[in-house]
Every structure is written in structure tokens, then in C-alpha cells.
């Protein structure tokens, strides 16, 4: 009987223990990065004679993070706004409207999810060059203004909303756009927050577009700042780790602010056809 109780207790605690183990595996490297960023620049790795915040000041100035933060924030917010708008319109059309070729169009959109952006870089580059958008903010924003994942995510969430709510709005004289704006989007806040977080984090961490489509120093983003830091200060790991912490803090804060809606959006967005 005791053996059965101990086995039941262990099985009930096993998920918790696995989560703790996973958290340790994730947090230990982050902790090492943070501790190394506090080491004086003249110390060798492994010594711990003192701590200093000077690395952050030097990294902030030499990495020109004020300009990089401004550019990355502008690009990430613009792409997030475009994706929310386009995903809401397309997702609602695929969820509620009935038209010929609807399933084929949905299949094509899902197919784009398995195509890496790197495979499209040459045609995208040519289109941007034809539109005189190279070395502009447009080159960083427009290529990812529409995303198949966002369309599919909002479509799935719209399918969970009862059609009776839309029918009631139609009886009150609302058209499709009014229903989308006044009924569907307010009820889809968890999915919108989830899409916004995914998009903002992806754009904040994107190195490929700024590296390929821009060469002007004034368009420098956070990831370009980190890349140049690694090239210039390879042997000064304290400065590099400080730069990594500086670039990571906004992302962590953003996730902590939206984590409740993010988890709810993931949990309630099922695969409904």
C-alpha cells in the first residue's frame, strides 16, 4: 500500500520536477551571461575579484544602442501593426466568408509557413530594388508585413466565436467591417496579444533583413549592433555579455507584461476546421 502511495506521489510530482529541470537548464546559461557581464574588463574568465556596471556603460556607448533601440522598436511596431491588420482581415474572410477556392487559398497560406525567408531573399531583394526601397525602413518592414502564421492563428480563433453574435450585430445594421472591428476583434484579444508578441519578438531578434537589405549606419538595429560587437570585441567577453543583456531586457519585460494573454491565446486557439 505504501509502495502504491509513493508511486502515485512520484507520478503526480514528475511533471513539476521536469518543469523545474527545464527551468534550470534555461536559467543557468542566462545567469552565467549576467554574472560575466558584471566582471571588470581586466579580469580573466573564472576569477571573481569584484563586480562593476561599467561594462554596461561602455557597451551602450560603443554599440550605439540608443539608435539601435529606436530603429528596432520602430520596425518591430510597424511590422506588428501591419501583421495584425492583414491577419485580422484575411483570417476573418477565411473563417466566415464562403467563396470558391477557399480551402485552396488556405492551403497555399499554410504552405508559406514551411518556406524559409532565406529562400526568397533574391526575388524580395529585386522587388525592393525595383521599388527603390533598399536602405530604407520600407526594406525592413514590407517583406514581413503579411504572415501566414498570423492569418491561420486568427482564423482559428475566429472559428471559436459563436456566429450568433455576428447575426445579432447584422440585425442591428452592422456590416462586415463593423462586425470585425466591434465584435470579433474585442473578443479575440488573447489571440491578438499572442500574434503581437510573436511578431514583435521575431522582428526584434531579426538579423537577416537588416544585414541584407541595409548598409546605412543610421538604420542600425539591435541585432546589427550585437553582430558588430562580436566582430570588434571578440576577446572582451564582458562587454559582449553586457550588450547581450541590454538587448534582451526589453524582450523579457514585454513578455512578462503580456504573458497572461499570451498563454490564454495559445490555450484557446484550437485546430478547428
Of 23 and 2, more confident: 23
Percent of the chain with pLDDT over 90: 37
pLDDT tens, position by position, 154-179: 999 999 888 888 888 888 888 888 88
pLDDT confidence of residue 32: 85
pLDDT confidence of residue 271: 46
pTM of the model: 0.83
- Dist CA 152 CA 92 (whole Å): 10
pLDDT tens, position by position, 103-132: 999 999 999 888 888 888 999 999 999 999
Per the prediction, the chain carries an average pLDDT of 84
pLDDT exceeds cutoff 70 at 200: yes
pLDDT exceeds cutoff 70 at 24: yes
Of 183 and 40, more confident: 183
Other beta carbons within 10 Å of 244: 19
pLDDT exceeds cutoff 60 at 185: yes
In whole angstroms, how far apart are CA 114 and each of 16, 107, 110, 117, 149?
33, 12, 8, 9, 10
pLDDT confidence of residue 261: 66
pLDDT exceeds cutoff 60 at 269: no
pLDDT tens, position by position, 39-81: 776 654 555 566 778 888 888 888 889 999 999 999 999 999 9
Residue reference for cell 540608443: 66
pLDDT confidence of residue 15: 79
pLDDT exceeds cutoff 50 at 273: no
In whole angstroms, how far apart are CA 152 and each of 13, 59, 84, 177, 195?
36, 40, 12, 19, 10
Amino acid at each position: 500500500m505504501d509502495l502504491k502511495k509513493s508511486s502515485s506521489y512520484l507520478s503526480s510530482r514528475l511533471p513539476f520536477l521536469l518543469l523545474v529541470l527545464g527551468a534550470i537548464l534555461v536559467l543557468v546559461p542566462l545567469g552565467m551571461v549576467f554574472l560575466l557581464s558584471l566582471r571588470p574588463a581586466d579580469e580573466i574568465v573564472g576569477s571573481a575579484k569584484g563586480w562593476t556596471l561599467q561594462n554596461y556603460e561602455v557597451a551602450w556607448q560603443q554599440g550605439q544602442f540608443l539608435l539601435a533601440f529606436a530603429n528596432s522598436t520602430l520596425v518591430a511596431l510597424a511590422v506588428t501593426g501591419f501583421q495584425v491588420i492583414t491577419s485580422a482581415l484575411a483570417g476573418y474572410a477565411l473563417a466566415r466568408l464562403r467563396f470558391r477556392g477557399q480551402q485552396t487559398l488556405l492551403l497555399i497560406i499554410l504552405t508559406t509557413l514551411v518556406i524559409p525567408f532565406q529562400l526568397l531573399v533574391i526575388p524580395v531583394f529585386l522587388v525592393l530594388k525595383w521599388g527603390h526601397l533598399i536602405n530604407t525602413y520600407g526594406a525592413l518592414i514590407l517583406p514581413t508585413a503579411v504572415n501566414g502564421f498570423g492569418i491561420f492563428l486568427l482564423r482559428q480563433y475566429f472559428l471559436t466565436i459563436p456566429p450568433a453574435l455576428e447575426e445579432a450585430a447584422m440585425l442591428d445594421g452592422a456590416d462586415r467591417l463593423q462586425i470585425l472591428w466591434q465584435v470579433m476583434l474585442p473578443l479575440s484579444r488573447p489571440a491578438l496579444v499572442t500574434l503581437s508578441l510573436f511578431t514583435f519578438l521575431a522582428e526584434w531578434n531579426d538579423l537577416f533583413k537588416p544585414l541584407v537589405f541595409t548598409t546605412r549606419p543610421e538604420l542600425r538595429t539591435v541585432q546589427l549592433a550585437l553582430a558588430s560587437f562580436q566582430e570588434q570585441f571578440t576577446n572582451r567577453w564582458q562587454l559582449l555579455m553586457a550588450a547581450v543583456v541590454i538587448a534582451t531586457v526589453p524582450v523579457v519585460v514585454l513578455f512578462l507584461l503580456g504573458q497572461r494573454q499570451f498563454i490564454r491565446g495559445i490555450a484557446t486557439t484550437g485546430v478547428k476546421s
